[in-house]
Chain A
Amino acid sequence: MMFLTNPQVAITVVEKFAALTLFISGLEYLTEPKQLMDDGLISWRIGSLRQSWLAGGPVGKALDRILSYPSVLGIIAVYTLLAGVILVGPPDLIIQPWIILPLVAALGVLFLRSNYGYDGADQLAWIIFTGLAPVSIIATPTTQTIFLWFVALQVSLAYGVAGIAKATAKGWWNGSYLIEILGTQIYGRATIATLMRRNPLLSTLHSCFVILWECSFLFILFLPYPVVLVFIAAGVVFHLLNAYVMGLNTFVWSFIAAYPALLFCVQTRGW
């Protein structure tokens, strides 16, 4: 069954999943803001010292007004609210520049604040919305199609490069790295790590599957549509497992956000 062959429909689905990432992320910041305070690990007082132009001068002073605590909560509230509007809004509304541009501006200044606490889910959602900014201004089928190809390229690169990198490490092929990651406090679960250690074949098979699945994304835009559907279904399961085992909750939505772009490209590629 073919679906998501209309660029505007595909963009709407991409946008809603990416918005869900930001909505959850924004609520997480707003309910646990302590790390954003001056005495937190994501403090602007320290983060601004990374560059002289952030710490002083006219740009630094302007940023200080909006990125210091508690002003930064306003920025986060703005992007959370806009993400909420995108989540529930109709397709014609959520591609409007007056929705996308303030959202991109809010996210952009937040990325200037600190290098700590962000993850790949934040970055992919940020890239999706930054890419949508010019498309919201010049919204034609051509620009929408180019945007969807760009998002498809991002997800293809994301998994593909990670897969190639894993394939160069013996510890990934034999499953030992997976067991060790699962044994850490921050990304692990002791019960699953213990299960894997007692059944090393399980860990090896799991690791090999991840390597081959990730590497396949380098070629996904050239694969037959039914095969792509299988790889995407595997991706959904992969991210749900990571959310449970590793606590990577927003990766589910930010990477699923890219899948409609893949489906659009594969169905409309013309070869």
Chain B
Amino acid sequence: MVTNIGEVLVIGFFAIWSALCIVVYLPKINTFIRNIDYFALIPEWRFFAPNPGRHDFHLLYRDKFADGSLTEWTEIAPILHRRLLNMLYNPNRRRNKALFDCTQEFSKHVNVGDRALELAIPYLALLNYISCIPRSISPGFTQFLIMYSAGSLTEKDPEILYISKFHAL
């Protein structure tokens, strides 16, 4: 039984929060809520549904020197080996998940033909990341490449999603 104003406020708080957690699944309201949910308090639970990510994205980069010569493409691969201990403690998953989130978000920008792609956060994040990789020789420029493949069960070659311009380092 509700006995004081504090309880009424708490009940109101949870009622509003619960309602938002339900209406977020309505397409017309979804965008509005997503735009103001800075603190990730309104979840959208999907768990690989309806269309799960069935591709691996591959991030590669290469450098250009002042004389125009190019390095080979180098892949920044996720850390793949998982041991039984990683069922409990898996510190590499943050890097892998961040790489996955970034490349997946980037692919959405590419797929919708974003004309301001080079100003998009995932573009800047990837460029910042590859630009800061330690090199033994200092090149003048770098560029990155995103490819996608259908995982370990296919013989098909990975396909190119996007090749960036060269950017000065």
Contacts and interface: CB of A to CB of B under 8 A. Distances in A.
Nearest to B89: A24
Which of A45, A172, A247: most chain B CB closer than 10 A? A247
B116 to A, nearest CB: 13
Which of B13, B17, B22, B25: most chain A CB closer than 10 A? B13
Interface string A47-62: 1011100000000000
Contact of A120 (B4, B18, B41, B43): B43
B6 A158 contact: no
B15 to A, nearest CB: 9
Interface string A144-183: 0011011001100111011101101101100001011101
Contact of B95 (A32, A154, A169): A32
Nearest to A42: B98
* Secondary structure type dominating chain A contacts: helix
Given A112-B39, A138-B10, A172-B50, A194 B95 contact: no
A169 B49 contact: yes
Interface string B40-61: 1101111111111111100000
B41 A127 contact: yes
A6 interface: no
A46 B97 contact: no
Interface string B147-160: 00011111000000
B121 interface: yes
A40 B86 contact: no
Nearest to B95: A35
A24 B99 CA distance: 20
A117 B129 CA distance: 14
B70 interface: no
Interface in B1-56: 1-4, 6-7, 9-11, 13-14, 17-18, 21-22, 25, 38-41, 43-56
Contacts of B4: 140
A119 B97 contact: yes
B40 to A, nearest CB: 5
Contacts of B90: 28, 247, 249
A131 B14 contact: yes
Interface stretch (A185-193, A219-227, A262-270): A185-193
Which of A159, A163, A165, A193: most chain B CB closer than 10 A? A165
Interface string B90-128: 111111111111100100000000000000010011001
Given A183-B154, A186-B96, 7 more contacts: A41-B129, A51-B38, A112-B39, A116-B101, A154-B43, A169-B51, A187-B53
Interface of A: 24, 27-29, 31-32, 34-35, 38-43, 45-47, 49-51, 108, 111-112, 114-120, 123-124, 126-127, 130-131, 134-135, 137-138, 140, 142-143, 146-147, 149-150, 153-154, 157-159, 161-163, 165-166, 168-169, 171-172, 177, 179-181, 183-190, 193-194, 197, 214, 240, 243-244, 247-249, 252
Interface of B: 1-4, 6-7, 9-11, 13-14, 17-18, 21-22, 25, 38-41, 43-56, 77-78, 80, 82, 84, 86-102, 105, 121, 124-125, 128-129, 131-133, 150-154
Closest 6 CB pairs of A and B: A39-B132, A183-B151, A165-B49, A180-B54, A162-B47, A117-B98
30 contacts: A24-B89, A28-B91, A38-B132, A39-B129, A41-B125, A43-B128, A46-B128, A115-B121, A117-B95, A117-B101, A123-B43, A135-B10, A140-B4, A140-B6, A147-B14, A149-B14, A157-B45, A158-B47, A159-B45, A162-B47, A166-B48, A177-B48, A180-B150, A180-B151, A185-B77, A185-B152, A190-B152, A244-B84, A249-B90, A252-B87
